Structure 1
Amino acid sequence: MAARLAREITGDVLFDGFSRGRYATDASFYQIVPSGVVVPRTMDEALRALAIARDEGVKVTPRGGGTSQCGQTVNEGLVVDLSKHLNKILSLDVAGRTCVVEPGIVLDDLNRQLKKHGLWFPVDVSTASRATIGGMAGNNSCGGRSLRYGTMRDNTLSMEASLADGTLCRFGEVSGDLSDLDASEPMRALFRDMLDLGAREADEIAARFPKVQRRVGGYNLDALIPRNARNNMAHLLVGSEGTLAFTTKVELKLWPVIRNKALGVCHFGSFYQAMDAAQHLVKLKPIAVELVDRTMIALGRDIAMFKPIISAAIKGDPDAVLVVEFAEEDQADNLVRLKQLGELMGDLGFGWNNEKRKWGGVIDITEPALQSAIADFRAAGLNVMMSMKQEGKPVSFVEDCAVPLPHLANYTARLNEVFAKHGTSGTMYAHASEGCLHVRPVLNLKLEKDVKAMRAIAEEAFALVREYKGSHSGEHGDGLVRSEFHESMFGTRLVADFREVKQRFDPEGVLNPGKIVDAPRMDDRSLFRFKPDYRVGELKTKLDWSAYPGAGGGFQGAVEMCNNNGACRKLEGGVMCPSYRATRNEKDVTRGRANTLRLAISGQLGPDALASDEMIETLKLCVSCKACRHECPTGVDMAKMKIEVLAARVATHGLSLRDRLVGYLPRYAGFASRFAAIANLRNRSPLLRKLFERFAGISARRTLPAFRSDVFMPPAEVVGPAAGREVVLFADTFNRIYERENLDAALRVLTVGGYRVHLPRPANGSRPLCCGRTFLSAGLVEEASAELHRLVAAFAPFAARGVPIVGLEPSCLLTLRDELASLRKDSDAKAVGAHALTFEEFLVREAEAGRLQLPLGTVADKVVVHGHCHQKSFGAFKPVEQVLRLVPGLTVQTIESSCCGMAGAFGYGADTYDASIEMAELSLLPAVRRAHPDTVVVADGTSCRHQIHDGSKRVALHVARVLAMSLDRAETNSSSTSTTTKEPSHG
């Protein structure tokens, strides 16, 4: 089959063990390794793959973002990934508010394109940055605002699809007698059979289907019951989880964008009170009421990107909050409703609870930026919950049961009793407005006893749902988790009808079998990610992973933090994941790498997989930007994991010439600078460029940074006024050897500012200090540790008395706040890390304390700024903007960019050059080219500046140089003024 596919389609055909492993999981706890994967370039190729698989007797599972909670997108046959290429808007009717899209288009991408027309598609699922429309249709997704906009089914007008036998058809609205279909229409007989089934089973459907909006379980047989003599046959496909037909196009209903919003954050002293209040709050007609419980609040306070949001939106220590959102066209109307919300909370008796010392009021949120931040936090709810650093994790299986609102408080209270009965507790968040909560008991599915507890909890929870006449599938579908329980929910007769529908559409069972009908047991451990024989042996790791459980001092636990939520697949916003944005390959996204690591350390990819060529290929395009460390909601730190893999590779296979040249740069840079003309000869010789590419893997298309003979040499170990406040300036290798102007500028800014600047040297007078960054990038952890040992010895005495340690190169300085802590746990290392600040962080701190006095002058009207990835990861980029705004008359514009693509030595690699340029072309280089010639381009990273110059021929400056220029201009202006004053008057 692989050979046929490779001959007949031009897209990727992936049948190797590593690729199949990466597609074996979704965001559920299941793992089923497929026969192979196809990534078609066109829909014709996708349908050709379906035909070939059918001929070969292989099952087919269509896949989008792979973020399903219930195991919908895993199966043992052929996976067809539609997300890379089949992601376009095919047509748009702005006046009619409709569009037709390919199934692989991501919701956020669709809405970005619709926004300029004043439209959006409002089924706003929390995974909007990676959820595809095809997957959302397959699950009948709902989103947080379904109270107003309805579900995916309510907003799907028609679908085009292929049956398993290759028959193509449009599924849309038809008359009950099918008189509007031509007699020769191939789907007429199928539609007739379906409508007859609907008429036959109308009473049973009315009796057994739950009367809640959020019912997405089973097939939508109620769509077959005649309404006004018409039926929309597409609504039978919606929610069918790819089991009935292979979708090729989806026609969507669009809505005007929301222009004004107001949020009320309602605080409650108990969880029960919050759940009971929901039925009253919806009477004010909000578009959403979202729950955030105590557990999520506590975890969010420990996540850097969410901590300030919680501080601004949550007062005191509530057990739960409900975020009530109003979005009427007129903001005045929203503010009236916000006031009514406060009054209603008062009428319900929620204020200051003297006995429990808890506040139960409302915080009004009208600032758009904070509203968006709260929405981001709520959307990340699942992943925030999964950030627990322990073996047990919140598990999705009673994930999104929905009950009528009057029963919500009692249902959740009894559900917590069920959890306690089985020795666990649960986390809850999400859509209180619809009686649909994302409920996850904390379990360790590596343990048989917890698997048994899961089974018992499922049975008891679903019994509660039936008692309250709710739905056991309220948003995320059935998949492998809930399909087994359809008979108890819908009854034997309707389950037989489901099977009849599947048989009529797909008699050979080709399309995504085992979902909705004929499902395996949900607790079949042979289908789990952690199967009964799952083992990770002891790992000899180089870095400290003690914050996590598992082998390798916790390396196993760190790898297993990835729950496949797919946040790393976002295409815009933030930094993560730059390589995926460039290639759209599952191999090149943080999730794909983490899955590969997990399979490797557990022996599922063969012996020595961790150091294998395939593993290195998996990590090749990881630029160690550290964005995942900051932006992954579960905190997967792939840059740190890559160091471990590289170290294992070095231990097994040794070093390549390129790794030696990169890793040992700090040790030979001083020598090379003495013979700069010879060292730089490679840049001027086409022959040497070709030889370097052939033998060292360094691209001939790149000019290497030029060594210089006038390297930075501190004028003394201490400069500046004797009475000035002390600061240490860390002269890193890159700025010292290649761009000493930056260190000269920083030294001038600090001394003019009145600081006494220390420039420590090694105690034994050997080569200059280094952070070990280049050694880490080559997997030479011992060498990096040795360099950091020298640095700590020199800096520790200053840190001990509270002297700030300031650096210019973000990747070097922030190594002291990151990797140093993973290599040394002693008090000296901790002190050095605690006092390490970027140049801009230090200046902002001093300015805010009123201690920074710099005579600055105007240098330009505008600067455009590119932030270094590590600055963004450590929350150190905002100070860059703040410092630049100290310059008089300067407008600061930040480029919304991911990684520049150079990433240290990455952009120089012959095998990574193209990917490097692709990353830069996503947003950085186009923005720089658009900038006016008089606009100053600013970038703190050495690599960033080189990429900008190579890709745009523009010179980018470090902030230190901009400030030094500003000092120069102020001096010039002062001198001119002084000279003019001294001249004799001729008036």
Structure 2
Amino acid sequence: MSAYVPTDPAVSDAGTETDAAAALAADLRRVVGGEVRFDPAHRAMWSADASNYRKVPIGVVSPRDEADVAAALAVCREHRVPVLPRGAGTSIAGQAVNTAVVLDFTRHMNRVLELDPEARTARVQPGVICDQLRDAAAPHGLTFGPDPSTHNRCTIGGMIGNNACGSHSVAWGKTVDNTVGLEVLTYRGERLDTAAPQGEIPAKLRALADRVGDRVRESFPDLTRRVSGYNLDQLLPENGFDLARALVGAEGTLATTVAATMKLVESPPARALAVLGFPDAYIAADNVMVVREHSPLTIEGMDAGLIAALRAQNPVETGWKALPPGGGWLYVETGGATRQEAEDKARAVAKAMKSYGLTEAVVESDPKRMKALWRIREDGAGILTRSPDGGEAWPGWEDAAVPPEKFGSYLREFDRVLERHGRKGVYYGHFGDGCLHVRIDFDLLTEPGIANFRAFMEDAADAVVAHGGSLSGEHGDGRARSELLPRMYPPDVITAFEEFKGVFDPDDRMNPGCIVRSARMDEDLRIFVGMPTMPDEPQLAFTHDRGSFTRATRRCLGVGKCVTAHGGVMCPSYRATGDEKHSTRGRARLLFEMANGQVVTGGWQDDDVADALDLCLSCKGCKTDCPVGVDMAAYKTEFLANRYKNKLRPASHYSMGALPRWLRLVGKLPAGAVDGLNALARVPFLAGLAKRAGGIAPERGIPAIARETFTTSARSRALVEGPARHAPRGRLLLWPDTFTEHFDPGIADDAVAVLEFLGYAVELPPRTVCCGLTWTSTGQVGAARRVLRRSLRTIEPWLTEGVPVVGLEPSCTAALRADGEELLPEEPLAKAMSGGVRTFAELLAGHVDELREAVSGPGARALVQLHCHQYADLGSEADRAVMAALGIDAEVLDSGCCGLAGNFGFEKGHYEVSMAAAERVLLPAVRGAAPDVEVLADGFSCRTQLRQAGAREPVHLAQLAARALGLGK
């Protein structure tokens, strides 16, 4: 058989590449039970990790078991192609991308095989997620010590590959310190169990250790965070010739792990967190040794720049307010048998630091508040990749480490290196271990910028080595730092690394280019080799990306928060399908590749991209939950706008995309006619015809339309439309959104009653108004602009006079606040609306004392489903404050999207994903709630999903407020 010579498909001869790849794929499919994917979409999605690098793989194989791995390796040997074992793809140094056959372990080989509480070990498959192992160990009072910030999506196999650490390394060390045994397959098919090593490999390694042992002892830096290079020190007699630990940190360059036995540690029953504020990060770094004397679990650090970036990028996130004053912070976590014991230890740390520059400290032991504080630190990597004006920052020099006693000195020198090269960086990191994380504003788009990147990296490496440190203290060498290893190790040790690699992989087919015989660190830079080729003339403004859609496609850095199983809102379609293609990251990768046209070649008409975006709910959860602020809802709108420009659209775009127009016509009918329409919609045959014509899922019911719209009944009650009558609190303009107006007008009636009770004069627009959301979400941008512009002109007098506009429907209110300027960036009224619109809760939040005094009767209990767009663009602090004032004992569900998401859940082909999203948390929680518990859902989509699922009748905050104040009907 002819050899397949791997080259980058972006620059290779297409015909030869396709023929060889097709033969390889066919052979793999014959012997592998798992998925074998060589299509452009999957190659595009696996072309990048969380680093600066891009290498398009030959194909992606998802083995179901060890036999599949062995079979895949055998075929790859026959075709002489490289192999890359890969976990969650969150590597920051570029070791998880290569022109190779990728073995993806996330889909199938992800089980905890055995857990021995007495031995404190667990045997796992490589695709097990870190948190999955921790959850399995928790009932036994145990945990897995290493916990990177990606702990809810990174895999144990990936952690072994990178020698990952995390925030608790001060207490429990790196992955290497927690590895008991590995079972691996080499490229040539040899199986090695490190618990009972047999064959030539162990013998060759012993000979190598005997020969280079003294040089390893002399040249390896003495620090806890040495991750760079191979672990030759673990082969030394004093370390017990530990083959398992020698393999950790090899970045998939030696063998493929098929099972691993990991050490578990005792998890303190209770924990507390001391957040120590210092004048700057230097002083915080200077004093980590003092904190270490108290034997904490964690010593993390942050710079003020991270908080500034968080506040600018995500205004609705307010967790930073809990930080003490300062310009640099240390997070010090302590553990104890009881919450009080843990808290006492944390207070002792804070007290001890008063004479070491401490400005102020906050000690917290409430798990929820601690989680909110930790979120700031854990999202740091993503937060720092974008400045408020759209400026970009990148990894590269990401996680170097020095002895912690030298950390303050290193930090000052590092800033001088930044200044010398004209670069800026904001940092955070594992200060207690002398490990610094930083994102730097490298120019990776131009050749001079890349030359500056190389020069900076070389100088930064020299600064670390001068401080006795390691080029990598956590994420490994990969494509980012392997080339720099000769600056850290002498030539004979580099030669020993090459010999070590050769013992396991004499063919150099396991993830070549990393650690030894390295790729150049300034080659394969993703945004340089993936330059866009399509015109960049977007329909939306993309104001946060300097008006550029292709710049927006660069936002995703692959940190992978969207591929988590629970928590937050994103990404509901990934959680329903488990498919990378239906994650925010997968879609962003496809859009990036669509823009450069090298692998995804169909542009706006590409069906792979269309298929991936089809299951995007446009929930906007990623806009807030993604640390980088990827807004897939906006990208989907842009894609649809261009794909269907001057073309026939799907039926649902005409039916649901233009829903306000059809409802406006219905609203002019007499009540009897509306009753007739509702009756016809309940006739199965007729409803079926209507749904087929409108592209609506046959499983969905057609919601009943109100007999009389809110504005019709309000005007009959002489609710004023012009200048207000005198009211003690002044005027308000109530925005009569389409959904409240035509489906739930009683909500608006209750809202008016509450607002008038508080002393406001409530006014209505003289004509129908609409935010244009349904047109926006279906990519009908031109129509959305016309609708919104007409509405803004209608309420111009109120906007000009600064009269607050109050919205009741979260999706519409969010559209007015956040989307208007994207549709009409040059329209002053859009900016005025963005600053002038208020949610019902935001208005009431200014009167909590008055509400508390006016509440009549016993308080209610409620489960609260936050609308996704409210979560993304509006926040919920005001809602929580109002509910507390009204005596509502509220449990805000961490349920994610309800699954209906406007038109999404009604569209044909989306019903299963829609209901799967609802069944994750929301519907089980509602079904399990006591009968007297209200289900509060301000969003029409959320209420409709609950109604059609037969859970129970939901309510709006306005209805609960009216009842609590004795105003409801």
Q: Could you tell me the TM-score, scaled by structure 1's length?
A: 0.89
1:834 aligns to 2:835 (yes or no): yes
1:729 aligns to 2:734 (yes or no): yes
Take 1:306 and 1:907, find their aligned partners in 2: how far apart are those partners? Answer: 27
**Other structure's SS at 1:455 match:** helix
Superposed CA RMSD: 2.8
- Amino acid across the alignment from 2:857: G
1:121 aligns to 2:119 (yes or no): no
**Other structure's SS at 1:821 match:** helix
1:632 aligns to 2:626 (yes or no): yes
Work out whether residues 280 and 303 of structure 2, in 8 Å CA contact, stay in contact via their aligned partners in 1.
Answer: no
Residue 605 to residue 699, structure 1, CA distance change in 2 (3 Å):
same
Aligned length: 934
Take 2:280 and 2:662, find their aligned partners in 1: how far apart are those partners? Answer: 64
1:225-624 correspondence to structure 2 within 5 Å: 225-227=236-238, 230-304=240-314, 308-316=318-326, 318=327, 320-329=328-337, 334=342, 337-338=345-346, 340-342=348-350, 344-348=352-356, 350=357, 360-389=359-388, 393-524=392-523, 527-531=524-528, 534-536=531-533, 538-549=535-546, 553-605=547-599, 609-624=603-618
Take 2:147 and 2:683, find their aligned partners in 1: how far apart are those partners? Answer: 56
**Other structure's SS at 1:159 match:** strand
Report the CA distance between 1:35 and its aligned residue. 1.1
Take 2:502 and 2:686, find their aligned partners in 1: how far apart are those partners? Answer: 67
Take 1:150 and 1:421, find their aligned partners in 2: how far apart are those partners? Answer: 34
1:661 aligns to 2:655 (yes or no): yes
Take 2:759 and 2:362, find their aligned partners in 1: how far apart are those partners? Answer: 44
Work out whether residues 215 and 402 of structure 1, in 8 Å CA contact, stay in contact via their aligned partners in 2.
Answer: yes
**Other structure's SS at 1:957 match:** coil
- The equivalent residue for 1:939 is 937
- The equivalent residue for 2:961 is 963
Work out whether residues 810 and 870 of structure 1, in 8 Å CA contact, stay in contact via their aligned partners in 2.
Answer: yes
Residue 102 to residue 693, structure 1, CA distance change in 2 (3 Å):
farther
1:927 aligns to 2:921 (yes or no): no
Residue 953 to residue 270, structure 1, CA distance change in 2 (3 Å):
closer
Report the CA distance between 1:72 and its aligned residue. 0.9
1:20-31 correspondence to structure 2 within 5 Å: 20-31=43-54
Residue 688 to residue 891, structure 1, CA distance change in 2 (3 Å):
same
Residue 902 to residue 271, structure 1, CA distance change in 2 (3 Å):
closer
- The equivalent residue for 2:133 is 110
- The equivalent residue for 2:15 is none
Work out whether residues 537 and 549 of structure 2, in 8 Å CA contact, stay in contact via their aligned partners in 1.
Answer: no
Report the CA distance between 1:139 and its aligned residue. 0.5
Report the CA distance between 1:724 and its aligned residue. 5.0
Bigger Cα displacement from structure 2, 745-754 vs 900-909: 745-754
- Amino acid across the alignment from 1:963: A
Work out whether residues 851 and 886 of structure 2, in 8 Å CA contact, stay in contact via their aligned partners in 1.
Answer: no
Take 2:529 and 2:834, find their aligned partners in 1: how far apart are those partners? Answer: 42
Take 1:440 and 1:600, find their aligned partners in 2: how far apart are those partners? Answer: 26
Report the CA distance between 1:898 and its aligned residue. 0.6
- The equivalent residue for 1:804 is 804
- The one of 209, 227, 230 aligned to 2:220: 209
- The equivalent residue for 1:783 is 783
**Other structure's SS at 1:327 match:** strand
1:179-190 correspondence to structure 2 within 5 Å: 187-190=198-201
**Other structure's SS at 2:260 match:** strand
Residue 492 to residue 586, structure 1, CA distance change in 2 (3 Å):
same
Work out whether residues 530 and 596 of structure 2, in 8 Å CA contact, stay in contact via their aligned partners in 1.
Answer: no
Take 2:167 and 2:136, find their aligned partners in 1: how far apart are those partners? Answer: 21
- The equivalent residue for 1:718 is 719
Report the CA distance between 1:642 and its aligned residue. 1.6
Residue 520 to residue 915, structure 1, CA distance change in 2 (3 Å):
same
- The equivalent residue for 2:904 is 906
- The one of 694, 697, 700 aligned to 1:699: 697
Take 2:783 and 2:104, find their aligned partners in 1: how far apart are those partners? Answer: 43
Report the CA distance between 1:623 and its aligned residue. 0.9
**Other structure's SS at 1:474 match:** coil
**Other structure's SS at 1:956 match:** coil
- Amino acid across the alignment from 2:598: Q
* Per-residue CA distance 1:809-838 (angstroms, 9 max, x = gap): 111121110111222344433222222122
Report the CA distance between 1:687 and its aligned residue. 4.1
Take 1:334 and 1:534, find their aligned partners in 2: how far apart are those partners? Answer: 52
- The one of 146, 150, 155 aligned to 2:173: 150
Take 2:134 and 2:883, find their aligned partners in 1: how far apart are those partners? Answer: 33
Bigger Cα displacement from structure 2, 577-586 vs 404-413: 404-413
Work out whether residues 100 and 251 of structure 1, in 8 Å CA contact, stay in contact via their aligned partners in 2.
Answer: yes
Take 1:109 and 1:259, find their aligned partners in 2: how far apart are those partners? Answer: 19
* Per-residue CA distance 1:770-816 (angstroms, 9 max, x = gap): 11111112111121122212322233322333433222211112111
Take 1:432 and 1:886, find their aligned partners in 2: how far apart are those partners? Answer: 42
**Other structure's SS at 1:907 match:** helix
Report the CA distance between 1:286 and its aligned residue. 2.6
Take 2:388 and 2:740, find their aligned partners in 1: how far apart are those partners? Answer: 38
1:92 aligns to 2:88 (yes or no): no
- The one of 71, 77, 100 aligned to 1:54: 77
Bigger Cα displacement from structure 2, 473-482 vs 702-711: 702-711
Report the CA distance between 1:486 and its aligned residue. 2.7
Report the CA distance between 1:440 and its aligned residue. 4.1
* Per-residue CA distance 1:5-29 (angstroms, 9 max, x = gap): 4454454433222321111001111
- The equivalent residue for 1:161 is 184
Take 1:878 and 1:489, find their aligned partners in 2: how far apart are those partners? Answer: 50
Q: Could you tell me the TM-score, scaled by structure 2's length?
A: 0.90
Report the CA distance between 1:343 and its aligned residue. 5.3
Work out whether residues 887 and 963 of structure 1, in 8 Å CA contact, stay in contact via their aligned partners in 2.
Answer: yes
- Amino acid across the alignment from 1:543: L
- Amino acid across the alignment from 1:840: A
**Other structure's SS at 2:528 match:** coil
Work out whether residues 313 and 363 of structure 1, in 8 Å CA contact, stay in contact via their aligned partners in 2.
Answer: yes
Residue 80 to residue 225, structure 1, CA distance change in 2 (3 Å):
same
Report the CA distance between 1:337 and its aligned residue. 4.9
**Other structure's SS at 1:547 match:** helix
**Other structure's SS at 1:418 match:** helix
Structure 1: 5+ residue runs without aligned partners? 175-180, 182-186, 352-359, 763-767, 973-987
**Other structure's SS at 1:837 match:** strand
- Amino acid across the alignment from 1:843: L
Report the CA distance between 1:342 and its aligned residue. 4.7
- The equivalent residue for 1:354 is none
Report the CA distance between 1:403 and its aligned residue. 1.6
- The equivalent residue for 1:133 is 156
Take 2:490 and 2:251, find their aligned partners in 1: how far apart are those partners? Answer: 21
Bigger Cα displacement from structure 2, 555-564 vs 300-309: 300-309
Bigger Cα displacement from structure 2, 693-702 vs 655-664: 693-702
Report the CA distance between 1:908 and its aligned residue. 1.6
Residue 647 to residue 161, structure 1, CA distance change in 2 (3 Å):
same
Report the CA distance between 1:143 and its aligned residue. 0.9
Work out whether residues 750 and 757 of structure 1, in 8 Å CA contact, stay in contact via their aligned partners in 2.
Answer: yes
Take 2:131 and 2:194, find their aligned partners in 1: how far apart are those partners? Answer: 25
Work out whether residues 795 and 832 of structure 1, in 8 Å CA contact, stay in contact via their aligned partners in 2.
Answer: no
Structure 2: 5+ residue runs without aligned partners? 1-23
Report the CA distance between 1:73 and its aligned residue. 0.7
Work out whether residues 804 and 836 of structure 1, in 8 Å CA contact, stay in contact via their aligned partners in 2.
Answer: yes
Take 1:450 and 1:441, find their aligned partners in 2: how far apart are those partners? Answer: 12
- The equivalent residue for 1:220 is 231
* Per-residue CA distance 1:865-904 (angstroms, 9 max, x = gap): 211111211343343344344445x532222201011111
Work out whether residues 270 and 336 of structure 2, in 8 Å CA contact, stay in contact via their aligned partners in 1.
Answer: yes
Take 1:165 and 1:153, find their aligned partners in 2: how far apart are those partners? Answer: 25
Work out whether residues 841 and 876 of structure 1, in 8 Å CA contact, stay in contact via their aligned partners in 2.
Answer: no
Report the CA distance between 1:60 and its aligned residue. 1.7
